[in-house]
Each structure stands twice: as structure tokens, then as C-alpha cells.
Amino acid sequence: NQPDAIHVRWDSRVFTPEELGTLAAASSPHLTRWTLWAAKESAFKAAKKIDPRLSFFPSAFSVELLDSTAARVDHAVGRFQVQLEVTGESVHAVATPEGSPTAFSRIARLEEGGANASGQVRDLARLAIGSTRDAEPSQVEISETGVPVVSIGGVVLPVELSLSHHGRFLACAWLWPERGDAS
């Protein structure tokens, strides 16, 4: 993720010609590069829910940055709306199929010397989802393997959950598909 470590051929392999133009015109190409990349990865996670057989070919996901907080990504399986949170330290992207309810997310820093990143991101999700259900985090159960399944008291919740950790950061995003809100 260091600007000096990016080989010029990497950009040409993962970005579309339009995205390369966006990079060339950007006042901060490094930040723009990782914003485009985060939008692609996020859209891939959403697209994989539509077609579980899908493989990640970054250039097949075409990103249009709408403003500093939103992007649109087109792929053969559909169009995705992407919420962006860009800081000097990180880029957080959450994609949902166009027309879907807004997803909710939380970001936190990885605690030094605490539980492993996988455990910490599940703790973050338990706290976030529990707060929307008036439940203590200890009551929220999240499966440890495969696609995360969320339950409270043995009752599976109709929530789509995505967990992520990279470097110093943890993030979770969730969507209540049939309700369209966080409660």
C-alpha cells in the first residue's frame, strides 16, 4: 500500500481505461487508487452473494467515483452502490446492489495485545448488531466459519453480515434485506 511499491503494470491490470484516467487526473493518485480498489473489492463481496461461483477479476468491476462518499460499480452481475468513508489512514467501502436498502457499518482499530483480528471483528459486530436489537453483545452469536450467520438466543437473524480486517483496522457491515433499516 506504499506509493513506491506500486508497479505501473499493476494499475493497468486492475483498472479500466476510465479508472486510469481518473487516477491520472487525481490530486491524490495514491488515495484515489485505494478508493477505487476498495470499491472494487466491496462490490465483489456483494456480487459474490448474487453469484457464489464468481471469481475476482478487478478490471471486470468498473468504478465511477460520484463524490468523496459514494461510488457506483458496474459488473456483469449488476450495478452496485458503494458508500465510502475515506480518511488519511484508511478507505472503508460498503457495496450493496443498486436499489437495496442502505447498509450499516462500524469501523474500529485493532487492539494491540488483545484477541486476534478475527475475534476482535466479531466482537465489533456483536456490539453493533446487539445495539440495534437491544441485546447485550454476549447474546449475539456469529458463526466462526464460512458466511457469517448471526443469531440471538439460537434464533437466526435475517441479516447479511460482512466482516473485514486489514492492517490496524477492523470493520463490519450489515444489512437487514427485508426491513431496510437497522432495527
Q: What is the pTM of this model?
A: 0.83
Evaluated on CA atoms 165, 108, 89, 115, the torsion sign reads: negative
For residue 110, give the C-alpha cell.
Answer: 485493532
As a whole number of angstroms, the distance between CA 32 and CA 38 comes to 10
The residue with cell 436499489 is 99
- Sheet containing strand 169-175, edge to edge, reads 104-109, 169-175, 160-166
- Which pLDDT band holds residue 182 (cuts at 50, 70, 90)? very low
Asked if residue 115 has pLDDT above 80, the reply is no
Q: What is the pLDDT of residues 27-60, one digit of tens each?
A: 988 899 999 999 999 999 999 989 999 999 999 9
Question: Residue 27's pLDDT is what?
Answer: 92
Question: Residue 178's pLDDT is what?
Answer: 58
